């Protein structure tokens, strides 16, 4: 039996990403974000939504660039801190000991220690309400070599990204292998 919870910002699963930018003075900053996802394969684009009140909001509009940094399980506390503190008053890189590195292709820093990074050029901005949605074209994907799988792509069991459950506000890891896409559903074909 289904119960209605009303109009709520709630879906499973949500990602845990760190959005990194340079501010007007060139100071690197970063914040955690869970409202986002891939939005196009060609050109490859990713979306992330931030509140106007965040310090990163102005930096993205100014620099037309940001990186999406995918932290590993072992970096979940750092990611959480990036979502608590504000870059307007805190140097979050100093506080966490993480290292900002200048991106190759966009005017934004990425985080040296995270396993997976997307360098994004701002393509489109859409004001929705409390959040503003940014669509970024992925100019490059950077991956730590030790999390690459045999197929040359990042292996999710080595990247160990964090899954977020909104409303309950809890972080989880990635669990068991369930199957191959475009394969396990074939049993329903006539």
Q: Find the shortest distance in angstroms from Cβ 44 to its own copies.
A: 4
Contact 34, 49 (CB under 8 A): no
Q: Which listed residue (26, 38, 86, 102) binds its own copies by CB under 8 A?
A: 38
Q: Name which of residues 121 to 140 contact its own copies (CB under 8 A).
A: 123-124, 126, 128-131, 133, 135, 137-140
Q: Say whether residue 24 binds its own copies (CB under 8 A).
A: no
Q: Find the shortest distance in angstroms from Cβ 26 to its own copies.
A: 22
> How far is the CA of 118 from the CAs of 6, 132, 154, 182, 184, in angstroms?
35, 19, 12, 25, 29
Q: Which listed residue (19, 96, 107, 109) binds its own copies by CB under 8 A?
A: 96
Per-residue x/- mask for its own copies, residues 51 to 90, rule CB under 8 A?
A: -----------------x-x--x--xxxxxxxxxx----x
Q: How far apart are CA 24 and CA 88, in angstroms?
A: 11
Per-residue x/- mask for its own copies, residues 145 to 174, rule CB under 8 A?
A: x--xx-xxxxxxx-x-xxxxxxxxxxxxxx
> How far is the CA of 122 from the CAs of 32, 73, 84, 95, 164, in angstroms?
18, 28, 24, 28, 25
Size of the site for its own copies (CB under 8 A): 111
Q: Find the shortest distance in angstroms from Cβ 182 to its own copies.
A: 6
Contact 32, 16 (CB under 8 A): yes
> How far is the CA of 42 from the CAs of 36, 59, 69, 152, 155, in angstroms?
18, 26, 21, 20, 22
């Amino acid at each position: 039996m289904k119960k209605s919870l009303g109009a709520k910002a709630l879906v499973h699963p949500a990602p845990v990403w760190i959005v990194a930018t340079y501010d007007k003075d060139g100071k690197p900053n970063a914040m955690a974000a869970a409202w986002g996802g891939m939005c196009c394969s060609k050109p490859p684009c990713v979306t992330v939504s931030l509140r106007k009140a965040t310090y990163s909001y102005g930096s993205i509009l100014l620099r037309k660039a940001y990186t999406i940094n995918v932290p590993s399980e072992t970096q979940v506390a750092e990611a959480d801190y990036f979502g608590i503190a504000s870059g307007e008053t805190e140097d979050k890189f100093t506080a966490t000991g993480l290292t900002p590195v200048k991106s190759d292709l966009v005017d934004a820093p990425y985080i040296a220690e995270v396993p997976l990074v997307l360098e994004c050029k701002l393509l489109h901005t859409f004001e929705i309400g409390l959040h503003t949605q940014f669509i970024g074209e992925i100019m490059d994907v950077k991956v730590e070599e030790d999390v690459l799988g045999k197929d040359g792509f990042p292996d999710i069991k080595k990247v160990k990204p964090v899954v977020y459950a909104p409303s309950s506000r809890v972080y989880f890891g990635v669990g068991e292998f369930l199957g191959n896409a475009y394969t396990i559903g074939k049993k329903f074909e006539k």
